């Protein structure tokens, strides 16, 4: 039998973690072992996750390709499909198509410092590349993570944040928006762009990865420019509406680019060439 | 292969049709309803429409149906079983009476569905479809195939192209492909040997109205033009233009649930709809109609030639004819060409 | 026609409005909407029997509204639509001037929407004889015959939503069909789903439809979808005594009166 591009893998939900209000992480394993053996992906790629009868939804693979045998995804309950996903229990079977899209060029980053800047629910696309970098730690110099959310409650991957905090080969700076702190909050208070400005990481031999809500990205780019980051060294991901994931359905087309094929990872230099339709 | 030229007597067309039906082929041909011609499965030759310039919808639906189911699922507790596309269900189909501006469109669709990942479902339908096209002997003001690389007698994309030689004349049959030869083999007595025939004088006259290469170059610097708003103020934002278009291929993916069983399908979508790009957050990168109209033109005349090496327009004029607000693509393209940058 | 152009020029030149919406000669034998923003363009304005597109559909469009105060060339169905839109708080005297136009191309000057309403109320919404005949025929069918009729007519619908786009009363920024929680109407085009869509639309227009036929005229497949709304007009007449668009906002199906003859409200 020839399968079509649209046939999903069947995946079993092995574990569900509640990350924050309305935000869950699924650990998924392939129902068919053969699918597992043939599956490979790289940091930055995404997939189409589906609840049969409800439809498909697009989000990144949030686990690192260095962790074999499963994939993870983290999503916020917001639309029809993510609400249906949130209603799934451990052991349920869902669909997954992928991996699609381009990658974070970790090979090219060897020997460099990496600065990760994430806001809110945008840590998942970055978590994949963070763990990939940490699992191959010897390839990189300093690794800094700046992560912010509206409130302490909204920070995702709380256990991993603790783990990164303890490790001495990674610098973690967490922040919450003013008013979002709790009495025992030990992190920063302030918006992500101003925290980046405050800690002023060196742009020398450094790549920056920025993922977050549009308003955070908008105000972080100028800060990075001020710190001396060149547009080619600032990476982000676009979140356009997608349906097929492989450059046919037309939804994610912006200028000459199909975000699902040419992205989702773009440098700021590439974004400057694109019409403002994302 | 070289194009073989044969003569088919005017009363032999019906015989050819009957032979195709006897050979268990589904024949799609233009049928008139409510004064509009559209492609339908046809059982008898007499029900095929004759007097039309262009069908309202293109024939793309035969290869890229408005709804294409690609999997069935069944849920059982936490378990799910799925069954993929049934390739056996794609049977040999003959498209009869297609115009050259549609046949060229199949090449465009082919580029969209195969430029990177290969779409096996589309390919299965295309490979099982035999395209018997008919040259245009008349045109109207909405036609502009000659401005986008086509012409009323173009053989591109056809398996056999028939050209009517005069008002009450016989037909020149140009056998373009092996699929076309296979049809000739089914009814070889109907395809007579012929001397060279000048078909050009029997074709519709469609004057060239613009240069698409010039348009493409101009569009590179035209994104921020105020013309987009001027042109599209009357656009109502429906999807008629996209759905009648032979090359528009944007689609949505939807599930159809009936209790524990159901299916997943793709169905036509249009970049002209306000919901096409809207994010779950509510953010819409193309929030007003002029941006969506711009996308339509840019995609066809700038992005597609750049990415897929094909233009997204065959000059059939269907979008303009179908538009309830008289958004005329030819008029708009000419005005883009005339702008000095 | 000269009167119309003169009036449009006046309105633009005196800055009474920013844009006048009217008709111009289109391509082929079509007419189409013209947006007059300076007085030279006003010379392109035309009016004749081909001008049937309901221009009221534009007064709720974001990019047209953003121009500023509008004037609109309005035949009787357009005037009705304007009054209905006013009753639904979509337009008012501050953002719209109506230039009435009779079938004989005579201009009617209206000072305000109240005058438009008075004019509109002189005429009942009446189904024309030809469609009356078709509706009668449909009424006489058995339910299964009628079901087959609508399945046959509506199956070709590919859901381009030209009917919705051309309808002045379909101005919702997000239509019921665009909602997916729950998915009331399937996105794809299929027999039953097409029926659901068109029936739902007819229901939403009951007591609001101005019988302009814009939906049927817009349909690229020439499906007689206006028969559905016409049927609802008939039913509204026989069951509720008919309706007229009214500035008082008394919409037929959404107005509750304590003295309603039915007892559901008591």
Backbone dihedral angles phi then psi of residue C86, each to the nearest 5 degrees: -65, -40
Range of the domain at B322: 212-338
CB contact at 8 A, B143 and C28 = no
Range of the domain at C149: 129-240
CB contact at 8 A, A241 and A260 = no
Q: Which two tokens stand for residue A236?
A: 């982000």
d(CA C94, CA C70): 9
pLDDT computed for residue C181 by the predictor: 86
Does residue C182 have a cis peptide bond before it, meaning omega lies within 30 degrees of 0?
yes
> Closest Cα to residue B259, out of A100, A53, A259?
A53
Residue A243 is assigned to a structural domain of this protein:
no
- Average pLDDT value for residue range A139-165: 94
C80 and C163 fall within a common domain:
no
d(CA B211, CA B217): 10
pLDDT computed for residue B167 by the predictor: 84
- Average pLDDT value for residue range C100-119: 94
Number of residue pairs across A and C with CB atoms under 8 Å? Answer: 7
Q: What is the pLDDT of residues A24-53, one digit of tens each?
A: 999 999 999 999 999 999 999 999 999 999
Select the residue of B56, B233, B331 nearest C35 (Cβ to Cβ): B233
- Average pLDDT value for residue range C205-210: 95
B122 and B260 fall within a common domain:
no
Q: Which two tokens stand for residue C8?
A: 């449009």
| Strand, helix or coil for residue B175 | strand
How far does A100 lie from chain B, in Å, by closest CA? 11
How far does B171 lie from chain A, in Å, by closest CA? 38
Q: Does the beta-carbon distance from C28 to B273 stay under 8 Å? A: no
Residue A4 is assigned to a structural domain of this protein:
no
Q: What is the pLDDT of residues C147-160, one digit of tens each?
A: 999 999 999 999 99
> Closest Cα to residue A124, out of A160, A90, A152?
A160
Q: Which residues contact A185 (CB under 8 A, 6 or more apart)?
A: A152, A176
Q: Which residues contact A106 (CB under 8 A, 6 or more apart)?
A: A42, A43, A129, A132, A133, A136, A139
Q: Does the beta-carbon distance from B82 to A7 stay under 8 Å? A: yes
Single residue among B202, B222, B247 that ends a domain in this structure:
B202
Least CA distance to C193: which residue of chain B? Answer: B256
Total domains, chain B: 2
Q: What is the pLDDT of residues A60-105, one digit of tens each?
A: 999 999 999 999 999 999 999 999 999 999 999 999 999 999 999 9
Backbone dihedral angles phi then psi of residue B184, each to the nearest 5 degrees: -60, -40
> Any idea what the CATH number is for the domain that residue A30 is in?
2.40.30.10
Least confident of B126-140, C60-74, C174-188: C174-188
Q: What is the pLDDT of residues C114-126, one digit of tens each?
A: 999 999 999 999 9
Q: Does the beta-carbon distance from B36 to C178 stay under 8 Å? A: no
How far does C174 lie from chain A, in Å, by closest CA? 15
Single residue among C120, C146, C163 that ends a domain in this structure:
C120
pLDDT computed for residue A1 by the predictor: 47
CB contact at 8 A, C52 and C29 = no
pLDDT computed for residue C265 by the predictor: 61
Residue C245 is assigned to a structural domain of this protein:
no
| CB contact residues (below 8 A), chain B span 61-80, against chain A | 70-71, 73, 75, 78-80
Q: C2-5: long-range contacts (C-beta < 8 A, 24 or more apart)?
A: C3/C106, C3/C107, C4/C45, C4/C47, C4/C73, C4/C99, C4/C101, C4/C105, C4/C107, C5/C42, C5/C43, C5/C45
A113 and A93 fall within a common domain:
no
d(CA A189, CA A177): 6
B156 and B274 fall within a common domain:
no
Q: Which of A29, A75, A253, A258 to mutate to test the interface with B (most CBs of B within 10 A)?
A: A253
A79 and A114 fall within a common domain:
no
C14 and C96 fall within a common domain:
yes
Confidence class of residue C218 from pLDDT cuts 50, 70 and 90? Answer: very high
Q: Does the beta-carbon distance from B324 to C220 stay under 8 Å? A: yes
b/e for B234-258, b at 16 or more Cβ within 10 A?
bbbbbbbbbbbbbbbbbbbbbbbbe
Does residue B44 have a cis peptide bond before it, meaning omega lies within 30 degrees of 0?
no
Residue B207 is assigned to a structural domain of this protein:
no
A13 and A81 fall within a common domain:
yes
- Average pLDDT value for residue range A225-233: 96
How far does B267 lie from chain A, in Å, by closest CA? 10
B41 vs C: CB within 8 A: no
- A partners (3+ CB pairs within 8 A) are B, C
Residue A37 is assigned to a structural domain of this protein:
yes
The whole-chain average pLDDT of chain C stands at: 94
Single residue among C120, C142, C174 that ends a domain in this structure:
C120
pLDDT computed for residue B276 by the predictor: 96
B223 and B304 fall within a common domain:
yes
The whole-chain average pLDDT of chain A stands at: 94
- Average pLDDT value for residue range B121-133: 97
Total domains, chain A: 2
pLDDT computed for residue B126 by the predictor: 97
C198 and C229 fall within a common domain:
yes
* Cα separations in angstroms, C7 against A1, C23, C67, C113, C119: 71, 14, 19, 17, 19
Q: Which residues contact B149 (CB under 8 A, 6 or more apart)?
A: B104, B212, B311
Single residue among A237, A256, A273 that ends a domain in this structure:
A237
B179 and B88 fall within a common domain:
yes
> Closest Cα to residue C30, out of B231, B139, B323, B36?
B323
Least confident of A181-190, B31-40, C137-146: B31-40
Chain B neighbors of A258, CB-CB under 8 A:
307
Matching residue, tokens 């198509």: A97
d(CA A255, CA B294): 11
Residue B253 is assigned to a structural domain of this protein:
yes
Least CA distance to A78: which residue of chain C? Answer: C181
pLDDT computed for residue B286 by the predictor: 96
CB contact at 8 A, B202 and B163 = yes
C30 and C56 fall within a common domain:
yes
Q: Which residues contact A90 (CB under 8 A, 6 or more apart)?
A: A13, A14, A15, A16
Residue A277 is assigned to a structural domain of this protein:
no
- Average pLDDT value for residue range B55-62: 95
d(CA B178, CA B176): 7
Task: Please tell me which residue, C252 or A144, carries the higher pLDDT value.
Answer: A144
Total domains, chain C: 2
Confidence class of residue A2 from pLDDT cuts 50, 70 and 90? Answer: low
Residue B152 is assigned to a structural domain of this protein:
yes
Residue C98 is assigned to a structural domain of this protein:
yes
d(CA B143, CA A114): 57
A146 and A120 fall within a common domain:
yes
pLDDT computed for residue B25 by the predictor: 87
Q: Which of A77, A80, A84, A87 to mutate to test the interface with C (most CBs of C within 10 A)?
A: A80
Residue C229 is assigned to a structural domain of this protein:
yes
pLDDT computed for residue C257 by the predictor: 75
How far does C239 lie from chain B, in Å, by closest CA? 32
Angle between helices C226-240 and C129-140 (to 10 degrees): 80
CB contact at 8 A, B99 and B51 = no
| Strand, helix or coil for residue C238 | helix
Chain C neighbors of B236, CB-CB under 8 A:
57, 61, 162, 165-166, 218
d(CA A253, CA A262): 10
How far does A39 lie from chain C, in Å, by closest CA? 32
Range of the domain at A139: 106-237
Chain C neighbors of A55, CB-CB under 8 A:
180
Select the residue of A55, A243, A256 nearest B251 (Cβ to Cβ): A243
B31 and B177 fall within a common domain:
yes
Confidence class of residue C266 from pLDDT cuts 50, 70 and 90? Answer: low
A83 vs C: CB within 8 A: yes
Residue A270 is assigned to a structural domain of this protein:
no
Chain C neighbors of A79, CB-CB under 8 A:
180-181
Q: Which two tokens stand for residue A22?
A: 């309305």
Least CA distance to A78: which residue of chain B? Answer: B280
How far does A95 lie from chain B, in Å, by closest CA? 9
């Amino acid at each position: 039998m020839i399968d079509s591009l649209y046939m999903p893998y069947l995946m079993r939900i092995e574990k569900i973690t509640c990350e924050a209000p309305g935000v869950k992480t699924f650990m998924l394993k392939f129902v068919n072992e053969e699918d597992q053996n043939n599956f490979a992906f790289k940091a930055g790629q995404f997939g189409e996750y589906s609840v049969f009868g409800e439809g498909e939804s697009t989000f990144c693979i949030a686990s690192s390709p260095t962790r074999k045998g499963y994939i993870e995804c983290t999503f916020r309950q917001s639309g029809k499909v993510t609400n249906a996903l949130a209603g799934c229990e451990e052991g349920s079977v869902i669909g997954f198509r992928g991996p699609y899209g381009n990658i974070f060029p970790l090979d090219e980053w060897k020997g460099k410092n990496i600065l990760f800047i994430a806001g809110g629910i945008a840590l998942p696309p970055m978590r994949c590349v963070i763990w990939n970098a940490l699992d191959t730690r010897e390839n990189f110099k300093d690794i800094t993570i700046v992560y912010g959310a509206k409130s302490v409650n909204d920070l995702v991957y709380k256990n991993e944040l603790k783990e990164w905090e303890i490790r001495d080969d990674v610098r973690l700076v967490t922040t919450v928006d003013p008013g979002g702190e709790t009495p025992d909050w030990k992190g920063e208070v302030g918006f992500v762009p101003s925290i980046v400005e405050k800690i002023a990481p060196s742009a020398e031999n450094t790549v920056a990865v920025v993922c977050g809500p549009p308003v955070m990205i908008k105000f972080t780019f100028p800060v990075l420019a001020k710190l001396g980051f060149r547009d080619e060294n600032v990476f982000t991901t676009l979140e356009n509406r997608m349906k097929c994931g492989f450059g046919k359905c037309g939804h994610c087309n912006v200028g000459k680019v199909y975000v699902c094929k040419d992205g989702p990872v773009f440098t700021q230099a590439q974004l400057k060439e694109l019409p403002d339709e994302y | 292969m070289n194009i073989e030229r044969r003569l088919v007597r005017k009363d032999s067309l019906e015989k050819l049709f009957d032979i195709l039906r006897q050979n268990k082929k589904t024949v799609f041909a233009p049928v008139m309803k409510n004064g509009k011609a559209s492609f339908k499965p046809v059982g008898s030759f007499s029900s095929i429409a004759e007097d039309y310039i262009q069908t309202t919808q293109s024939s793309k639906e035969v290869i890229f149906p408005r709804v294409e189911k690609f999997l069935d699922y069944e849920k059982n507790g936490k378990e799910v079983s799925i069954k993929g596309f049934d390739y056996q269900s794609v049977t040999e189909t003959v498209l009869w009476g297609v115009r050259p501006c549609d046949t060229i469109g199949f090449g465009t669709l082919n580029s969209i569905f195969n430029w990177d990942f290969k779409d096996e479902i589309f390919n299965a339908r295309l490979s099982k479809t035999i395209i018997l096209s008919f040259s245009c002997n008349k045109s109207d003001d909405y036609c502009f195939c000659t401005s986008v690389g086509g012409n009323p007698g173009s053989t591109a994309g056809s398996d056999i192209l028939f050209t009517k030689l005069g008002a009450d004349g016989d037909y020149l049959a140009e056998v373009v492909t092996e699929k076309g030869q296979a049809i000739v083999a089914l009814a070889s007595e109907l395809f007579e040997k012929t001397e060279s025939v000048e078909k050009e004088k029997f074709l519709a006259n469609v004057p060239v109205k613009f240069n698409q290469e010039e348009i493409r170059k101009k569009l590179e610097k035209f994104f921020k033009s105020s013309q987009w708003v001027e042109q599209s103020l009357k656009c109502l934002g429906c999807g008629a233009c996209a759905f009648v278009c032979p090359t528009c291929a944007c689609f949505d993916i939807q599930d159809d649930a009936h209790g524990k069983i159901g299916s997943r399908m793709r169905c036509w979508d249009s970049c002209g709809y306000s919901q096409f790009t809207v994010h779950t957050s509510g953010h819409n990168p193309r929030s007003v109609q002029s941006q969506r109209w711009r996308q339509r033109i840019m995609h066809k005349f700038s992005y597609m030639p750049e990415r897929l090496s094909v233009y997204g327009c065959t000059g059939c004029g269907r979008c303009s004819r179908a538009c309830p607000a008289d958004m005329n693509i030819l008029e708009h393209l000419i005005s883009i060409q005339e702008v000095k940058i | 026609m000269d009167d119309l152009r003169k009036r449009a020029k006046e309105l633009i030149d005196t800055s009474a409005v920013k844009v006048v919406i009217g008709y111009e000669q289109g391509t082929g034998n079509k007419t189409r909407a013209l947006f007059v923003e300076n007085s030279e363009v006003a010379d392109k304005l035309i009016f004749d029997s081909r001008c049937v597109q309901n221009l009221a559909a534009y007064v709720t469009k974001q990019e047209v509204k953003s121009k500023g105060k509008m004037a609109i060339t309005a035949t009787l169905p357009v005037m009705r639509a304007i009054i209905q839109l006013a009753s639904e708080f979509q337009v008012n005297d501050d953002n719209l001037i109506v230039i009435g136009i009779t079938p004989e191309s005579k201009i009617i000057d209206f000072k305000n929407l109240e005058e438009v309403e008075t004019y509109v109320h002189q005429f009942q919404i009446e189904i024309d004889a030809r469609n009356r005949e078709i509706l009668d025929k449909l009424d006489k069918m058995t339910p299964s015959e009628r079901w087959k009729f609508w399945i046959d007519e509506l199956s070709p619908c590919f859901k381009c939503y030209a009917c919705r786009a051309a309808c002045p009363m379909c101005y919702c920024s997000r239509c019921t069909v665009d909602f997916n929680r729950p998915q009331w109407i399937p996105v794809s085009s299929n027999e039953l789903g097409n029926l659901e869509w068109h029936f739902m639309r007819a229901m939403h227009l009951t007591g609001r439809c101005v019988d302009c036929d814009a939906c049927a005229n817009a349909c690229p497949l020439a499906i007689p979808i206006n028969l559905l709304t016409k049927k609802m007009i008939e039913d509204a007449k026989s069951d509720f005594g008919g309706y007229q668009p009214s500035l008082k906002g008394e919409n037929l199906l959404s107005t509750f009166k304590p003295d309603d003859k039915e007892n559901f409200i008591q």
